Amino acid sequence: MDSAMIGKIQKARLYAEEPERVHFEQFRATFRGTNGNHTVTFNQGDWHCTCHFFAGRGVCSHTMALERLLGVMVPVQVTTPTEPVRAMV
């Protein structure tokens, strides 16, 4: 193996130890859940899952599991109020 390749392997190991260097913008994954497979997508900070629970709540065990797995590589989901915030007069 040449020295350039050895250097790249060493650099890759260092990068792998610093996951905060990576920030996902979008991806699609198949999640094998207890009750079947679900498609989970992440796009510009927004999660989506094809499971029934996500449809009603906007979050589910599949998206939460991926957030835990990916850690700092995806932004933390910010919960927004369901009703608009009204300015105090």
Asked if residue 61 is part of any domain, the answer here is: yes
Does residue 7 form part of some domain?
A: no
Q: Is residue 16 part of a domain?
A: no
Query: pLDDT-derived band of residue 1, with 50, 70 and 90 as boundaries?
Result: confident
- How many structural domains are present in the chain? 1
Residue 82 within any structural domain of the chain: no
pLDDT at 8 over 90: yes
Residue 69 forms part of a structural domain: yes
Res 69 pLDDT > 80? yes
pLDDT confidence band for 75 (50 / 70 / 90): confident
What are the E-state strand segments in the chain?
26-33, 36-43, 46-49
The answer, yes or no, to whether residue 86 has pLDDT greater than 50, is no
In a domain, residue 58? The reply is yes
Q: Which residues of 46-61 are buried (b: 16+ CB within 10 A; e: fewer)?
A: ebebbbeebeeebebe
CA distances to 1, 46, 78, 85 from 81, in Å: 56, 15, 10, 8
Does a structural domain hold residue 59? yes
pTM of the model: 0.74
Range of the domain at 65: 24-76
Specify if 17 maps to a domain: no
Both tokens assigned to 13: 């190991």
Instruction: Give the helix, strand, coil percentages of the chain, each rounded to 5.
Output: 40, 20, 35
